[in-house]
Amino acid sequence: MSSTYGKNIRISIFGQSHSEAVGVVVDGLPSGFRPDLDELRRFMDRRAPGKNSYSTPRKEADAPEFLSGLNGGVTCGAPLVALIRSKDTRSADYSNLKDVPRPGHADFTAQLKYKGAQDVAGGGHFSGRLTAPLCVAGGICLQILKSKGIEIGAHIASIGNIRDVRFDASSVGRADFHLLRGAAFPVLDEARGAQMLTAIEQARKDGDSLGGVIECAVTGVPGGLGDPMFDGMENRIAGIVFGIPAVKGIEFGSGFGGTSLRGSDNNDSFYMDGGRVRTRTNNHGGILGGITSGMPIVFRAAVKPTPSIAKEQYSVSLSGKSNVRMTIKGRHDPCIVPRAVPVVEAAAAVAVLDALLDGNKYQ
């Protein structure tokens, strides 16, 4: 099913942007773990809308209600079901989208597939609203991984053509993640972050939008996770990251940039470090042949500009079979990259915990 992911940790996301609620069913969580619900709330707040000028003014608390899976606050082995109720919807803003699809959205392709049965309000099941339940599942997986010494953090690598400094792929760690989680705008270089914010505000004033890139790192990962060919760690991470609306690309380690290097520059030399094999550089992004090497996993996800913009755009009337002009109504982010940072962390957490449960590697 298209809304289900995982082999050992199986998540199924349900709901539409303007339905009464959205939610997630998580099966396979290790029993006996007590999630810190206050920490989960703080994590969810990083994704929640209506917090600042560069996010949609739609206000949702994103507070999960747990219907099952916890007994006395501890995972009990039953599927964990979390519900997030929707309280601030304006469905009338989307009433014409079955006939006049928005450029850059799934309105047209949904019409081709579902023949008008789809819910168009707020983007329906294609909406970024569905990343809220993903963050519930991923937020709990983050806590479980942390208890095993595995930590995950991400930052805004770029907005438009403004670039933050990159993680040091060989030594990225807890200090970097702590800095980012405490920042209102998650970048490593505050001066470049200020430039990004200025660019986002200008795009908003112009009735336009910006995209960008999110860089994510996973540290403390043991070597040997994943499999060659179709079930490698790149495959597992990419499979869930591409479930985040607006993600259009992903690269690991040196990625596309590595194609301009010679093998002698792109290869990571091995060395012994106190009886442990490490690499002096980490162009492989912690994965070789689909299997983790023990170095940090480092990847970057490309996020397209928000397609809902205030500028007039060209579209078509499907009923009239004619060209038309349209102006999109509703409330939308001029740049969704900042709110997508915790979503990428959540997705990575689900993928890594799922792999860790292979072959009894979860100890």
Pick out the residues of the known binding site for FMN. 125-127, 289, 304-308, 331
Taking Cα atoms as reference points, which of 156, 176, 168 lies closest to residue 282?
Answer: 168
Residues contributing to the annotated binding site: 47, 125-127, 289, 304-308, 331
CA distance 11 to 25: 6
Binding-site entries for NADP(+): 47
Pairing of strands 322-326, 270-273: unpaired
User: What is the number of alpha carbons within 13 Å of residue 88 lying toward its C-beta?
Assistant: 13
> Do 97 and 67 touch, CB atoms closer than 8 A?
no
- Please report how the helices 131-147 and 337-356 are oriented relative to each other, as an axis angle in degrees rounded to 10: 50
Residue 101, burial from CB neighbour count under 10 angstroms (0-12, 13-18, 19+): buried
Pull the structure tokens for residue 130: 């569905």
Residues 79 and 69: beta-carbon distance below 8 Å: yes
Q: How many CA atoms lie within 13 A of 318 on its CB side?
A: 15
Give which of 362, 300, 334, 349 is closest to 134, Cα–Cα. Answer: 349
Distance of CA 320 to the CA centre of its chain: 38
- Could you tell me which of 28, 30, 33 has the C-alpha nearest to residue 7? 28
Crossing angle between the packed helical segments 37-47 and 131-147, to the nearest 10 degrees: 140
